[in-house]
Amino acid sequence: MTSPDAPERERANTLLEIASDDPDTVSTAELVTILVHGTPPARSVAVEAYEVVVDARPNAATSVATELHCLLDDENVRAKAAGAIAHLAERGAAPFKKSIPSLIRMVEPPIEFGRDHAVHALLVLSSQFPRDVESAVSPLLDILENEMDANSGHKNGSELANPSFGHEEPNRETGVVRFAAAQTLLHVTRERPAAAVNVIPQVGLLLDDPKARIRGVASEILGAVAKEYPDHVSPHLEKLATLLTDDPEQPVPWKAASALAMLVDEYPEEFADTVADDAGELTLLLNDTNPEVRGVGVALLTYVVEYYPNAIEPATDRLCELLTSENPLIRANAARALRDAESVVALDTLEKVARNDPNSDVQEIANAAVRQIRHHEEDELHGEEDSKGSAFE
């Protein structure tokens, strides 16, 4: 029995063959027709044909983009046109930049058919043109706030994926659309943190989202804003610290730690007060295979130990190991933490670092740590002698 989509697939295959043999003869109008009106398998083949044609005729991308842009005003086909833009823009975003305002209108209330494809198109385009997508911040947040789909069947918020040409609309219950909306907001915020300053309270609410990947992206957004506007993010410091120490799902603790790293210079004591009782959990960051994560973990511990010297005792052995890290900043911060903790057990290792470390700054910090710990030892010894002497007077 012949498949009902066989003629459409054959049409697309023929177009692909022509594109491979003589790309100059391929009609962009024919490409767009299949991309928008073809069956899902035919659309996939048309994407291949598009790539072949554009490789040979770069200007063809502009022609296709223009035709798809015009179709965004047609309520009967705008969903498929947005879906095509989402796919093709991954292969070169510039020709589709002019469609950003139309795509933004598609994600604004009231919700219309095609909104989810528009979200994915904006995600792709925002990676190249984040400032052009700024006006989508509020409607994207509405999607995130109003559709906390607790019934999602995908752990951790689902993998990010473009909606398939095999569906008229991606299944909203997968959480894929929400994650795409969150990532688009992150692109915008990284480019210009001020764009998200006024919506920080709403972003903060996402730290309690049932999906780990949404909590993680919300943490990243807050971290991006905190680089320039820490005061706006500071009300969420305690919640970020809680995610760091208590959230069981990666990558949330790491994303929260990165956000906190943007706040601790301005609010060191508040951070230390919040995590002191759970400082041992930071040891998990020190054991991470990613050196960037380890670096953030060590840096955060230096703020804790400044106010709670005994709080990092569970991390002492690991900090001593990190004195041999390949990263001089990690070595320096490990030495600082052990210095402020006045860790006697680390003294021998610190002395070796002070003598042999190839980085003069690390050597200097290790030397200071050795002097401080030695001084602490002497004070304790004198204190014990004074105490014993007074007891026998």
Q: pLDDT band for 171, please (50, 70, 90 cuts).
A: very low
Alpha-carbon distance of 78 to 84, in angstroms, equals 10
Q: How many CA atoms lie within 13 A of 373 on its CB side?
A: 24
- The pLDDT value given to residue 379: 64
pLDDT higher than threshold 70 for residue 166: no
- The pLDDT value given to residue 279: 84
Does residue 153 belong to any structural domain of this protein? no
Does residue 343 belong to any structural domain of this protein? no
CA distances from 276 to 41, 197, 310 (A): 57, 29, 9
The average pLDDT across 276-280 equals 86
Q: pLDDT band for 45, please (50, 70, 90 cuts).
A: very high
Q: How many CA atoms lie within 13 A of 328 on its CB side?
A: 11
Least confident of 90-104, 111-125, 132-146, 167-181: 167-181
The average pLDDT across 102-119 equals 90
- The pLDDT value given to residue 59: 95
Q: pLDDT band for 284, please (50, 70, 90 cuts).
A: confident
The average pLDDT across 132-161 equals 68
- The pLDDT value given to residue 2: 44
pLDDT higher than threshold 60 for residue 159: no
- The pLDDT value given to residue 146: 81
Name the more confident of 269 and 175: 269
Q: Please state the three-class secondary structure of the chain as a single string.
A: CCCCCHHHHHHHHHHHHHHHHCHHHCCHHHHHHHHHHCCHHHHHHHHHHHHHHHHHCCHHHHHHHHHHHHHCCCCCCHHHHHHHHHHHHCCCCHHHHHHHHHHHHHHCCCCCCCHHHHHHHHHHHHCCCHHHHHHHHHHHHHHHHHCCCCCCCCHHHCCCCCCCCCCCCCCHHHCHHHHHHHHHHHHHHHHCHHHHHHHHHHHHHHHHCCCHHHHHHHHHHHHHHHCCCHHHHHHHHHHHHHHHHHCCCCCHHHHHHHHHHCCCCCCHHHHHHHHHHHHHHHHHHHCCCCHHHHHHHHHHHHHHHHHCHHHHHHHHHHHHHHCCCCCHHHHHHHHHHHHHCCCHHHHHHHHHHHHHCCCHHHHHHHHHHHHHHHHHHHHHHHHHHHHHHHHCC
The average pLDDT across 253-275 equals 95
The average pLDDT across 327-349 equals 94
Q: Tell me how many domains the chain contains.
A: 1
Does residue 49 belong to any structural domain of this protein? yes
Does residue 25 belong to any structural domain of this protein? yes
Alpha-carbon distance of 228 to 262, in angstroms, equals 9
Which tokens sit at 248?
């069981």
Alpha-carbon distance of 135 to 100, in angstroms, equals 10
- The pLDDT value given to residue 4: 57
pLDDT higher than threshold 60 for residue 281: yes
pLDDT higher than threshold 50 for residue 205: yes
Does residue 61 belong to any structural domain of this protein? yes
Least confident of 144-153, 170-179, 221-230, 310-319: 144-153
pLDDT higher than threshold 80 for residue 51: yes
pLDDT higher than threshold 70 for residue 153: no
Which tokens sit at 91?
């292969």
Q: pLDDT band for 9, please (50, 70, 90 cuts).
A: confident
- The pLDDT value given to residue 283: 83
Q: Which residues contact 198 (CB under 8 A, 6 or more apart)?
A: none
Alpha-carbon distance of 347 to 317, in angstroms, equals 12
Instruction: Kindly report the average pLDDT of the chain as a whole number.
Output: 88
- What percent of the chain is predicted at pLDDT more than 90? 76
Which tokens sit at 358?
């190839």
Q: Count the neighbouring beta carbons within 10 Å of the beta carbon of residue 296.
A: 23
The average pLDDT across 5-16 equals 86
pTM as predicted = 0.85
Does residue 307 belong to any structural domain of this protein? no
Does residue 53 belong to any structural domain of this protein? yes
Domain that residue 2 falls in: 1-102
Does residue 43 belong to any structural domain of this protein? yes
- The pLDDT value given to residue 25: 93
Q: What angle do CA 27, 29, 34 make, to 5 degrees?
A: 100
